[in-house]
Structure 1
Amino acid sequence: MPSPHSLPAALLGLALVCPALAEAEGLELGQVLIGAQDQSDEDQVIESAKARLDEVPGGTNVVDMRRPLQGRVASNQDVLAYQPGVYAQSAGNEGVKISIRGSGINRAPGAHASGLYTLLDGLPLTGPGGTPYELLDPLWLDHVEVLRGANGFDRGALALGGAIDYISHTGYDAPRLQVRYAMGSHGYVQRQVSSGQVLGDLDTYVALTDASSDGYQDHTASDSQGMIANVGYRFNPNLETRFYLRYRQTDNDLAGRVTKHSIEHDPRAANLAYVARDDRREQPGSTFIGNKTTYYIDDDSSIQTGLVYHDYPMDLREGPNRLKVAYTDVSGTFDYKRRDTLWGLESVSTVGLRTTKHLPNDGASESVRIPTGNTAGYAPGTPMRNFTYQGSDNVLHVGNDLEIADDLWLTTGLAAIYTRRESAVTYPQTGGKTSLHDWDYAPRLGLRYQVTPDLQLFGNLSRSVEAPHPWSLIYSSNVRFPAGSGPATGTQSTPIELQNQTATTLEIGGRGDSGIGQWSLAWYYAQVRHELLSVLPDANATTPYELNASPTVHQGVEASLLSPLWSGEDGARLSLRQSYTFSDFHYRDDERFGDNRLPGLPMHYYQGELRYDWPQGFFAAVNTQLVSKVAVDYANSYYADPYAIFGATVGYNAPKGDWQTWLDLRNLTDQHYAATVTPGYDDKGLDAARSTPGEGMGMFVGVSWSLL
């Protein structure tokens, strides 16, 4: 098997040594953009998004969903493929472990994308409890904007990993009618019907989607259904509004984590304890209702407001207990942008406010599901414990871009953040309560220099702030109900206190367009304090503990290259796209672990695709993914193996754009590997059940038809 430590020199050379960047346009306020853009042209929508992100003095990504949709798109793993700096791997079913610059490296893997601030159409999705994944159906998306690290500042993102904004279709960029159907290995089926309409100043988009799968691993069957709708109306050239509705429900069987030996010899086997208990995660229906309204005061200034209601109940049947959770968040945003001339210099200023708050709810109820241990003798359904978790995040941010010389821009910003986290055990009555309230700040300083129209250099220095999840205060507690407490005996009784995670990050890089293609390159170094890290207390545990760590370092390199290798006179072309992420995350002189690497993520992560397009619309591509070994415990006593997987895609895109079909082949060599790791503390060199197996060899076929 090829070792990721010996990646082909030619590929790494292309990925890491390139100089040049596409011309970054000046900031366009919304009114100017709408007046100049034909919104039915999706190419211009994508180019506009890229131009906006090119004005950020740091690493960013724009994912044009037309490319991933020429193959299977089942989850965020497929959406975020080939993106430098972004690690996205399946943690089983729809759950995907997403990490940017080591964000949430070991926090709630697969479920909450901790350490990232996630938006839907510019509106907050992330709340104090994290980011549930069931509303992120990839078929609903037009494109995705990723602002890595502090580069999400103007979106109100202060997390270490930055911001991800999932942008839906609207009536302007969606076909009048589209039908998509995909099927393949392991019982995979995905269906969608959607429609976009423009009726004068009114436009609408609606889509209905459902999917099901038996799963590659035993006991990983999944089923989901959902719908999205948005309606936009332009009252006049200065005022427009859009309403959003998303609803989706999911039901996933859980296979648990397994050993490396199990992955090597029987990768489809599930953890026997999970199968015996019939563990599953049901999210019986999540609702997201929002509005975004924009008022263009004049050609140089605008105000945008947003309001969101988000309800996401969960029915968690993991382990011998059953946990029913009721989350409800409400969020509000306000953003003011203005262009001025200061001292003869062009200036763009922003002021933003975002607030997200848990609404009062019934909290969580935990009951006996399978009588065992301290609950032996109690009937299923017997109440064990009730607890609440409340929280809020309030961020006020002010920023400015000032052109201090020709093509040289100075970016400054300062954000103030107030976080509240509370958790209380309300039953039994002897339970405790913890309440945390913190003020903090996050400054930002950056430079970007447009050396030539095809070369941009940038750098920034910033601070990030992240609060713990309210539910981690109770689940991480080592204070438990004593013997004689009935079915609550042994469960956590009093929430603990956790500190906010902070980091100071330096980033330097560039992007451009040169003879070898479009490229981007960024290096970053972050000193992290009180990093929120999770650990499995034992191999059979279902919920990791989350605690503050001693000082740590996150540093790395993020590189991408899209190379047009050859073009024919008839329009045929051969291209190569590559993405490489180097990640070095480790302790700084920890008393127990010294300078050990943080477990859970690989040091080297490379993806590449070589593709040939015929002028008639046919295409064929081969791809690879190379990943280095991953530590599975904080003592670095045991590692998941490095791996290399290969795939291929063939398909046809009709010249008129009205239909397409494709065949997507995954893991052609049927490589056995660990896709994600949920670390332990010190496994003392033993092969513990810490890993989730990656998907084996599979074949998927799909077709879509559109009425344009």
Structure 2
Amino acid sequence: MSSAKSLPTALLGLALACQAMAEAEGMELGQVLIQAPDARGEDAVIDDAKARLAEVPGGSNVVDMRQPLQGRVASNQDVLAYQPGVYAQSSGNEGTKISIRGSGINRAPGAHASGLYAMLDGLPLTGPGGTPYELLEPLWLDRVEVLRGANGFDRGALALGGAVDYISHTGYDAPLLQVRYAMGSHGYQQRQVSSGQVLGDLDYYVALTDAKADGYQDHTASESQGVIANVGYRFNPNLETRFYLRYRETDNDLAGRVTKRSIEHSPRAANPAYVARDDSRKQPGSTFFGNKTTFYIDDDSSIQTGLVYHDYPMDLREGPNRLKVAYTDVSGTFDYKRRDTLWGLESRSTAGLRVTKHLPNAGASERVRIPGGNTAGYSPGTHMRNFTYQGSDTVLHLGNDLEIADDLWLTTGLAAIYTRRESAVTYPDGGGKTSLGDWDYAPRLGLRYQLTPDLQLFGNLSRSVEGPHPWSLIYSANQRFPAGSGPATGTQRDPVKLQNQTATTLELGGRGDAMVGEWSLAWYYAQVRHELLSVLPDANAVTPYELNASPTVHQGIEASLFSTLWTPDDGGRLSLRQSYTFSDFHYRDDERFGDNRLPGLPMHYYQGELRYDWPQGFFAALNTQLASKVEVDYANSYEADPYALFGATLGYNAPKNDWQTWLDLRNLTDKRYAATVSPGYDDKGLDVARSTPGEGMAVYLGVSWSLR
């Protein structure tokens, strides 16, 4: 990547070139818009998003990225902070453990997240193999929309956790030129230069971003660099299209999991085995290219199509072996929306199709990296195994919202799902193959009642369906190559068969604006069958096994409140935002574990921030994060301790919205705690290496400047 000094020059040149092309096509200078909407316009975009999601009879979140960007924004942990129902914790790099309603409850941090359907600008990012994180650069985002649980139905999201849509900037909301720089503790640096503009019927946005850090924990150094670009064109009032490009490289050293004793006495120490092997996770270059085209048939109906090519190779050096993976996904989407009047009642109908498929070249080669164990006597680089994992997801969904009485809406829907999973060991000879193809269905029934303009009540009953990852079929296998199989001796030979995870969920809640502030509240109860749960079989394991569990229950409460506490005469404001998530996930009369809690997540999770804004643009805030204890194994024989963190932010937003600076202080008491847990099966009360430490006390400083 070019140096930071050359980035603003390059982007300014690109902006001027786009303007020159527009003028060459005969556009008058008066038609060129070179400034982003003002703050009031950006507020309107967020309000529209909230109003649209409020038409869904269930829990949802809208993250206005202007707020997180008034502090350090390094990963999804920062993006999804203060969101009820969303648990997002980082183990020290971009690999953030995200769970909504217990989705992917115990995936190892940094692995392909499960149980969520992630989208980039409404286009599929999640594939049969999960959701790689390297394209989720937070500085590229305008907002994030979260539809918890089955509330993502109309977007084709039928996994337990729901849908997360990361929506990037366009020329309509981006400055002509913007430069941002942040630095701080543990060698952290982050730089971005971007440009956006509207040129008649054409608009564009482009940004270059890079970051690096030494990491809080030893052996967690990271580097990343990437580019985003999108170009939209409106052919006429009824037809518009937009092309999207994302490219990003990441390289993360891995510190592994450690014991609770290690966190208490040496929180920055890495797992010695990971340091000795020099483990790392490199994604040498991931590419996302897509198009979304919308045709407005008339005032009451529209068609939108989408097409995505997503290529994401990985070079995994974790453990004694080296795994090189070549993933390529192709996705297509189709959405039809229509508004009618039925029996004098307003009706809104949707029909959608989502198809994502691994291309045939998706597969992996595995080589000896460090002689030892079953690879003793073989040189590094010795070829061990080749295996493939293919898959596809197809979802056809039909939905309707019918106003059956004044301000009372009935939501109905039905989805048909086909999942295909296949894994085969192609080298050496004697490897097995597993192929699974399953049809399933997901109905949905909901009600929402706008009792007053400031009070809405809702409820829904729905079903979710989630297929296993194709790669888990081989990694979870218990059939191994026998002695005498060369370097493949002891490795998995025959992929296993796994069933789709299903859940039936009841949700009740409401949202509104009252004297105490803007609030939301949701309660849900889900009966889950064949839950896909992962377990690390021993402390030295690097890849979790994924198997179907006996029946489980996921239930919880999700609450948020934003209150204005004081507005003095000078125009300032004292405000308090809070979010609380209660999570009770447990077995239902399991033969081995009874009603034990599922490990990996805290039962209670609270975040709060008290903030004062001065009319001149200065602001100051105090924040806290509280988490209860976390079970470390399925036997519930050991626990990670509860913790309380405190932080503060100070900053200044210029009244003209042209520059901003901030100081972000984290973990002021230098609390030592486990940020994430990767569970074991039964640790028999022993302190086993299952946890990753959270960041200690840290200070970050940032500044941004915009030309509008």
Native 8 Å contact 2:610 2:621 kept in 1: yes
Task: Supply the distance in 2 between the matched residues of 1:144 and 1:77 (Cα, whole angstroms).
Answer: 13
Tell me if 1:643 matches 2:643: yes
Native 8 Å contact 2:362 2:389 kept in 1: no
Deviating more after overlay: 621-630 vs 43-52: 43-52
Give how far 1:353 is off: 0.2
Matches within 5 A, 1:283-362: 283-361=283-361
Task: Supply the distance in 2 between the matched residues of 1:363 and 1:416 (Cα, whole angstroms).
Answer: 28
**What is the root-mean-square deviation of aligned Cα atoms in Å?**
1.0
Matches within 5 A, 1:143-158: 143-158=143-158
Aligned to 1:162: 162
Aligned to 2:71: 71
Q: Which runs of 5+ in 1 are unaligned?
A: 1-36
Native 8 Å contact 1:92 1:110 kept in 2: no
Native 8 Å contact 2:224 2:250 kept in 1: yes
Native 8 Å contact 1:98 1:110 kept in 2: no
Aligned to 1:21: none
Give how far 1:91 is off: 2.7
Task: Supply the distance in 2 between the matched residues of 1:68 and 1:107 (Cα, whole angstroms).
Answer: 26
Task: Supply the distance in 2 between the matched residues of 1:92 and 1:706 (Cα, whole angstroms).
Answer: 30
Matches within 5 A, 1:366-377: 366-377=366-377
Task: Supply the distance in 2 between the matched residues of 1:71 and 1:571 (Cα, whole angstroms).
Answer: 23
Native 8 Å contact 1:143 1:167 kept in 2: yes
Native 8 Å contact 2:362 2:390 kept in 1: no
Aligned to 2:675: 675
Q: Aligned with 1:538: secondary structure?
A: coil
TM-score computed with the length of structure 2 as normaliser: 0.94
Q: Aligned with 1:477: secondary structure?
A: coil
Aligned to 1:8: none
Give how far 1:107 is off: 2.9
Aligned to 2:7: none
Give how far 1:374 is off: 1.5
Measured against aligned partners, the alpha-carbon deviations of 1:238-284 in whole angstroms (never above 9, x if no partner) come to: 00000000000000000000000000001000000000000000000
Measured against aligned partners, the alpha-carbon deviations of 1:603-623 in whole angstroms (never above 9, x if no partner) come to: 000000000000000000000
Give how far 1:186 is off: 0.1
Give how far 1:39 is off: 11
Q: Aligned with 1:493: secondary structure?
A: strand
Q: Aligned with 1:74: secondary structure?
A: coil
Q: Which runs of 5+ in 2 are unaligned?
A: 1-36
The residue type equivalent to 1:461 in the other structure is: L
Task: Supply the distance in 2 between the matched residues of 1:630 and 1:617 (Cα, whole angstroms).
Answer: 40
Aligned to 1:473: 473
The residue type equivalent to 1:305 in the other structure is: T
Matches within 5 A, 1:491-530: 491-530=491-530
Give how far 1:111 is off: 2.4
Change (3 A) 1:224 1:174: same
Tell me if 1:410 matches 2:410: yes
Give how far 1:602 is off: 0.2
Give how far 1:44 is off: 1.5
Task: Supply the distance in 1 between the matched residues of 2:464 and 2:108 (Cα, whole angstroms).
Answer: 20
Task: Supply the distance in 1 between the matched residues of 2:154 and 2:202 (Cα, whole angstroms).
Answer: 29
Measured against aligned partners, the alpha-carbon deviations of 1:306-350 in whole angstroms (never above 9, x if no partner) come to: 000000000000000000000000000000000000010000000
Give how far 1:506 is off: 0.1
Aligned to 1:114: 114
Give how far 1:565 is off: 0.3
Give how far 1:109 is off: 3.3
Give how far 1:129 is off: 0.4
Native 8 Å contact 1:107 1:532 kept in 2: no
Task: Supply the distance in 1 between the matched residues of 2:121 and 2:38 (Cα, whole angstroms).
Answer: 19
The residue type equivalent to 1:215 in the other structure is: G
Matches within 5 A, 1:125-524: 125-361=125-361, 363-524=363-524
Native 8 Å contact 1:108 1:114 kept in 2: no
Provide the aligned length of Structure 1 versus Structure 2.
672
Q: Aligned with 1:374: secondary structure?
A: helix
Deviating more after overlay: 40-49 vs 399-408: 40-49
Give how far 1:303 is off: 0.2
Measured against aligned partners, the alpha-carbon deviations of 1:552-575 in whole angstroms (never above 9, x if no partner) come to: 000000000000000022210000
Native 8 Å contact 1:39 1:45 kept in 2: no
The residue type equivalent to 1:197 in the other structure is: Q
Task: Supply the distance in 1 between the matched residues of 2:56 and 2:190 (Cα, whole angstroms).
Answer: 37
The residue type equivalent to 1:315 in the other structure is: D
Task: Supply the distance in 2 between the matched residues of 1:40 and 1:386 (Cα, whole angstroms).
Answer: 56
Give how far 1:112 is off: 1.6
The residue type equivalent to 1:439 in the other structure is: W
Q: Aligned with 2:283: secondary structure?
A: strand
Native 8 Å contact 1:325 1:363 kept in 2: yes
Moved over 6 A (4+): 37-40
Native 8 Å contact 1:227 1:247 kept in 2: yes
Q: Aligned with 2:479: secondary structure?
A: coil
Give how far 1:420 is off: 0.1
Deviating more after overlay: 117-126 vs 375-384: 375-384
Task: Supply the distance in 1 between the matched residues of 2:157 and 2:666 (Cα, whole angstroms).
Answer: 35
Change (3 A) 1:346 1:49: same
Task: Supply the distance in 2 between the matched residues of 1:647 and 1:256 (Cα, whole angstroms).
Answer: 27
Native 8 Å contact 1:92 1:254 kept in 2: no
The residue type equivalent to 1:640 in the other structure is: A
Task: Supply the distance in 2 between the matched residues of 1:700 and 1:519 (Cα, whole angstroms).
Answer: 31
Native 8 Å contact 1:40 1:172 kept in 2: no
Task: Supply the distance in 2 between the matched residues of 1:669 and 1:107 (Cα, whole angstroms).
Answer: 29
Aligned to 1:43: 43
Q: Aligned with 1:150: secondary structure?
A: helix
Change (3 A) 1:48 1:39: farther
Q: Aligned with 1:77: secondary structure?
A: helix
Native 8 Å contact 1:128 1:357 kept in 2: yes
Give how far 1:406 is off: 0.2
Q: Aligned with 1:182: secondary structure?
A: strand
Q: Aligned with 2:527: secondary structure?
A: strand
Give how far 1:192 is off: 0.1
Aligned to 1:5: none
Aligned to 2:539: 539
The residue type equivalent to 1:155 in the other structure is: R
User: Relative CO higher for 1 or 2, CA cutoff 8 Å, sep ≥ 6?
Assistant: 1
Task: Supply the distance in 2 between the matched residues of 1:262 and 1:469 (Cα, whole angstroms).
Answer: 33
Measured against aligned partners, the alpha-carbon deviations of 1:502-555 in whole angstroms (never above 9, x if no partner) come to: 000000000000111000000000000000000001001100000000000000
Native 8 Å contact 1:39 1:172 kept in 2: no
Deviating more after overlay: 83-92 vs 468-477: 83-92
Q: Aligned with 2:229: secondary structure?
A: strand
Task: Supply the distance in 2 between the matched residues of 1:112 and 1:299 (Cα, whole angstroms).
Answer: 41
Native 8 Å contact 1:647 1:665 kept in 2: yes
Measured against aligned partners, the alpha-carbon deviations of 1:615-646 in whole angstroms (never above 9, x if no partner) come to: 00000000000000000000000000000000
Aligned to 1:98: 98
Task: Supply the distance in 2 between the matched residues of 1:178 and 1:39 (Cα, whole angstroms).
Answer: 16
Task: Supply the distance in 2 between the matched residues of 1:304 and 1:611 (Cα, whole angstroms).
Answer: 41
Task: Supply the distance in 1 between the matched residues of 2:91 and 2:455 (Cα, whole angstroms).
Answer: 38
Change (3 A) 1:287 1:218: same
Q: Aligned with 2:172: secondary structure?
A: coil
Native 8 Å contact 1:107 1:546 kept in 2: no
Native 8 Å contact 2:129 2:471 kept in 1: yes
The residue type equivalent to 1:241 in the other structure is: T
Task: Supply the distance in 2 between the matched residues of 1:505 and 1:92 (Cα, whole angstroms).
Answer: 33
TM-score computed with the length of structure 1 as normaliser: 0.94
The residue type equivalent to 1:312 in the other structure is: Y
Aligned to 1:3: none
Aligned to 1:557: 557
Change (3 A) 1:641 1:38: closer
Task: Supply the distance in 2 between the matched residues of 1:148 and 1:491 (Cα, whole angstroms).
Answer: 38
